[in-house]
Structure formats: C-alpha cells, structure tokens
Amino acid sequence: MAKKNVIIIGAAGRDFHNFNTYFRDNSEYNVVAFTAAQIPDIDGRKYPAELSGELYPEGIPIYAEEDLVKLIKEHCVDDCVFSYSDVPYKKVMNVSAIVNAAGSNFKLLGPGDTMIKSHKPVIAVVATRTGCGKSQTSRKVIEELMNKGLKVIAIRHPMPYGDLVAQKVQRFATVDDLKKHNCTVEEMEEYEPHVTRGNIIYAGVDYEAIVRAAEEDPDGCDVILWDGGNNDFSFYKPDLTITVADPHRPGAEMNYYPGEVNLRLADVVVINKMDSAAPEGIQTVRENIALANPNAIVIDGASPITVDHPELIRGKRVLIVEDGPTLTHGEMKIGAGTIAARKFGAAEEIDARPFLAGKLKETYEIYPNIGNILPAMGYSDQQLKDLETTINSSDCDSVIIGTPIDLNRIINIKKPTTRVYYDLEEIGYPKLSHVINQFTEKHHLNKEMA
C-alpha cells in the first residue's frame, strides 16, 4: 500500500510528541510538514533530521498554519492531525472544516497512542485551561511527596522554541541551568519556581528519552510528576491524574480542547481560586464535574496572594505585568497581579497599550481582548527588549510583577517593582495529603524521613 501523506497541525509541543510517539518509525505514513500556530516565530524552520528518525533523513519543514490549504493540495495530503491545546471547540471544528474542504481527513490522536509508560509511578497534574493553577498544584504535590522522604522528578510539558537538537533532553537543577539552556521567559516561569525550591525538572523535545533520563537521574527518582502545559493531557500514562479547574472561566471545562479530556480522565479535580471567584462560577464548575466525572474526588482550593512591597501598590498608579500564555490563548482577563492591585488598594491600573513597543504591538493585534494588562512576552531577545522598553516608557508609579519569576533578573526595569507570590491552599476536606497518602501506600513508596 502507498504511504499516507500527513500534516501535523501544532504549536511546537504536542505536535512533536505526536510525531515521535506515533509517526516517527511508522512506515505507513509520510509526514510532509508541520504547521505552527499560537507561538510567535516558530514557523519557517525544520524539525531536524537528528530527531526525525531513519524515515526522514532531511528532517521535516515547519510552516505557518495559514499555509495549511496550500500544503494539503501541493502534497496530496491524506490526513491532517490536530496537535495543540487550549482551543475552543469551535476553533477545532473550524480547522476541521478547512481540512475537509481541502480534501483531507481531520484526526485527533488520543492517550492510547501517545502516552509513554514510565518505569516509575507517575502523577499527572493537568488542567481544563491555561492559567488554572497547575504550577502551584504541582508544587504542593511535590511538597507532600518530599515530606515522605521521596525523590521527585518533575517533567514539564514542552516549550522547545530554540535549537531543537540541543533541547532534546534538558535537565534543570539550578537557576544557572536556565541561562545554560537559553530559556525564554515562558520557560523560566515554569522551571524557576521548581529549581529555587530544590526540585529537579526535565523538559525538551523527545519525551521517551526524557523520562528514561529522569528515571535514572543521578540524584535519584522515586516518582515522576508530570507538570502539564496549557490544558493538554499527559504525555505519560499516569497512575494518578489531578486536574485543575478555574471558576473564573466557568463552563470552559466543557468547551475547550482537550481540557474536557482532562476533566473526564481525572481521579481528582481541584477547583482552584475559590477565594477570588464568583459563587455562581464555582457552582457551574461543580455541576460540570458532576456531569462529566461524578466519581472524581473534588478538592476545594484557593491561591491566596502575597506581595513583597505592598507600599508600592497602595494609592499608586500601577502597571500590571502578567504571565503571557495565560493572557493570550488562555484568555484570562485578570491574573495574580490584578488581584494584588485590587487587594492592596492601587489608585489606578495603567493601560499598557499606549506604550507598546515593537513586537508587543503584534501580540495585541492577534489577541485584542488582553485589555490593559501587559503580557510578559519573551520568546526572543527582541521581545524582551520590547517588554523592557514598554515597561520603562509607561506612565506609572510602580510595576506589579504577576509572573512566577523576577523580571528584574532578565530585563532592566527602571520603575519600582513589587512581586506577587501565590501557593495552593486547600479549603476543608478532602485534601491533597489524603490523596497522596493513598497513592504512596498503593505503590509501596512510604519511607522514613532522614
């Protein structure tokens, strides 16, 4: 039989994983291209031959998703595989209509064909949307495991926006490793909170190679913690799935791909941010959990915030800088910085838009609903420079940094700044500690603390 020609529609993450696990060594298919969306400046390069396997000695080109119809016709494509996350169902079916109208099949790969089995027990922390609070949930789970004397290795959903060969397997144990691997702001936001707390975290491109390295980590490994990205489902077959839901966006848990997959796969659902969400939003999320996954354990959670310099907020005109993906494809209208501004009595939340420099203007054109908040975009040196220029040009008294990292470390901010901190706190019962106790007993992992 003739090989089927395939295009993988992605955003430099799930698309590469789907290729590696399902297509790379599969002689029934010929992947002619990847297309790229969501992340700036990742099209126009190649998935390299060094990672593509014997069937692709020249590597595989990556094009902008806008070229999809042209590519289908030029390459007589049989199947297009949708492979990125945090998109509304309408968007998924719009792409399906485009693909079908161009003459190709539209496909989605599921967990059975893409999850890798680890030799260690795996806990997956995933979510219904970007920005639900996976990171603080992951940190809480790791703390519970470490309190039992266990060695935990976190593996983060991919963000490979640079040299893909160099990023095949990445290990982060110190803040210096972030510089060593030329991390973007988005990568730093995810990795830095782990390493500053003494946790080792892996990431990269080839997640089979990554998990095998993590299992044999020189510092030891008892448990793998999958620290999910966007609202994608785990790359590894989990022994315990914890899904985080956000009552600030009620209903999204049933209307975004593949967030509903995570809701239905969950052993545990954490309803986060209950301290700042409307009661009717919380109730909607509860009802949807009961509808989609009535057997899941539901944990009520909050993410209370603290700031290091509240005096720089009270009565001040503040510019708020938030995590980029949460504001862009995550579609959040507020983040930790906004909550801090209102909690600590800012006089005014300055609109960032009149001061935008360079590529940041493009971000607002693509995502016009961001509003007056400034996303911490830093996928390139130019974007970092534009971020720095925008902040320093803004007409504000001070800057609230709502991202998980200290931006002062990577750009020169000339305004007074205060950072926002947040961790997960459970409300009432059950608690994550009860869930982790059952997990460690089931897998015979209980140890005495040294």
Complete DSSP assignment for 104-115: -EEE---HHHHP
Handedness of CA 156, 162, 166, 172 (dihedral sign): negative
Do 248 and 334 lie in a common domain?
no
* Cα–Cα distance measured from residue 45 to residue 59, given in angstroms and rounded to the nearest whole number: 10
Percent of the chain residues topping a pLDDT of 70:
95
Where does a domain end: 110, 135, 152? 110
Residue 297: both structure tokens together: 């354990």
Count how many Cα atoms sit within 13 Å of the Cα of residue 294 in the half-sphere of its side chain.
Answer: 1
Same domain, 105 and 133: no
Taking the C-alpha atoms of residue 231 and residue 265, their distance in angstroms, rounded to an integer, is 12
CB neighbours of residue 24 within 10 Å? 21
Per-residue pLDDT, averaged over 419-442, amounts to: 94
CA 386 to centroid of chain Cα atoms = 23
* H or E segment and range at residue 20: none
Q: Residues 119-169: pLDDT tens digits? A: 999 999 999 999 899 989 999 999 999 999 999 999 999 877 778 998 999
Sign of CA dihedral 124, 128, 129, 132: negative
Dihedral of the CA atoms 312, 330, 66, 386 (nearest 10)? Answer: 10
Give yes or no for a contact between 134 and 233, defined as CB atoms under 8 angstroms apart. no
How sure is the predictor about 16, in pLDDT bands with cuts at 50, 70 and 90? very high
pLDDT at 449: 43
Same domain (yes/no): 255, 389: no
Where a domain ends, among 86, 110, 134? 110
The verdict on residue 22 lying in a domain is yes
For residue 380, tell me if it sits in a domain: yes
Q: Which one has a higher pLDDT value, 308 or 42?
A: 308
- Contact criterion met (CB below 8 Å) for 285 and 247: yes
CA–CA dist 19, 236 (Å, integer): 15
Check which CATH number belongs to the domain holding 57 and give it.
3.40.50.720
How confident is the model at residue 88, as a pLDDT? 96
Residue 189 has pLDDT above 80, yes or no: no
245: tokens are: 């839901």
Among 35-44, 228-237, 241-250, which stretch is predicted with the lowest mean pLDDT? 35-44
Q: What is the mean pLDDT of the chain?
A: 91
pLDDT of 175 above 90: no
With pLDDT > 90 as the criterion, what percentage of the chain qualifies? 72
Q: For 77-134, how does the pLDDT look when each residue is reduced to its tens digit (9 = 90+)?
A: 999 999 999 999 999 999 999 999 999 999 999 999 999 999 999 999 999 999 899 9
Looking at the structure, do residues 367 and 381 belong to the same domain, yes or no?
Answer: yes
Whether the CB-CB separation of 25 and 120 falls below 8 Å is answered with no
Residue 448 has pLDDT above 60, yes or no: no
The pLDDT, as a whole number, for residue 332 is 66
The beta-strand segments (E) located in 206-354 are: 223-227, 240-245, 256-257, 268-271, 297-302, 305-307, 317-323, 348-349
Helix axis angle for 134-146 and 185-195, nearest 10°, is 20
Name the burial class of residue 446, with classes exposed (0-12), middle (13-18) and buried (19+) by CB atoms within 10 angstroms of its CB: exposed
Residues 282 and 154 both lie in one domain: yes
Number of separate domains in the chain = 3
293 and 347 fall within a common domain: no
Distances (CA, A) of 387 to 11, 51, 307: 23, 33, 22
d(C-alpha 13, C-alpha 402), whole Å: 25
Burial class (CB in 10 A: 0-12, 13-18, 19+), 425: middle
Residue type, 225: L
Quick one: average pLDDT of 332-361?
A: 88
pLDDT at residue 299 is higher than 50: yes
Question: Is it the case that residue 351 has pLDDT exceeding 70?
Answer: yes
- 149 and 286 together in one domain: yes
Quote the pLDDT of residue 64: 92
Domain extent at residue 393: 306-422
* Whether residue 42 has pLDDT greater than 70: no
Instruction: Name residue, tokens 């030891």.
Output: 220
Strand pairing of 46-47 and 79-83? unpaired
